[in-house]
Copies of this chain bind each other. A is one copy, B any other.
Amino acid sequence: MPIFEILSVGEELLWGLITDTNAASISRKLREIGFSASFRQTCGDDRAHLTACLKKALSRSDVIVVTGGLGPTYDDVTRDAVAEATGRSLVFHEETADRIRAFFARRGRAMADNNLLQAYVPDGAEVLPNDYGTAPGIWLETEGKLLILLPGVPREMERLMEEQVLPRLAAQSGMAGCVDVLHFFGITESELDTHIPEDLKNGADPAVAPFAGTGEVELHISAVRSTRKEARQAVCEAEQRLLKDLGGFCYGSGKTTLEQVLVERFARNGLTVATAESCTGGLLAKRLTDVPGSSAVLKSGVVAYSEEMKTRLLGVSPSIFSGDGVYSEACAVAMAQGVRALTGSDFGVGVTGIAGPGGATERDPVGAVYIAVSGKNGETARRFVLGHGKGERGFIRHLAASHALAMTLSQAGLFSWEPEKDGKEK
Contacts and interface: CB of A to CB of B under 8 A. Distances in A.
Interface string A346-360: 000000000011100
A264 to B, nearest CB: 15
Given A16-B24, A191-B112, A212-B153, A301 B281 contact: yes
A300 B292 contact: no
Contact of A289 (B109, B283, B385, B392): B283
Q: Which of A25, A115, A309 has the most CB of B within 10 A?
A: A309
A211 B45 CA distance: 12
A265 to B, nearest CB: 19
Contacts of A115: 190
A112 B190 contact: yes
A305 B295 contact: yes
A278 to B, nearest CB: 9
Interface string A387-411: 0111111110100000000000000
Contacts of A389: 106-107
B16 A19 contact: no
Contacts of A144: none
Nearest to A304: B300
Please give the count of copies of this chain that the complex contains: 2
A85 interface: no
A41 interface: yes
B39 A53 contact: yes
Given A41-B39, A283-B289, A20 B24 contact: yes
Contacts of A356: 292
Interface in A359-397: 385, 388-395, 397
Interface in A285-313: 285-286, 288-290, 292-295, 298-306, 309, 312-313
The 7 residue pairs across chains A and B that have the minimum distance between CB atoms: A281-B289, A16-B27, A282-B285, A301-B303, A40-B42, A16-B28, A282-B282
Given A73-B190, A73-B193, A281-B285, 10 more contacts: A13-B23, A15-B28, A16-B29, A16-B37, A17-B28, A17-B211, A73-B189, A107-B388, A107-B389, A312-B342
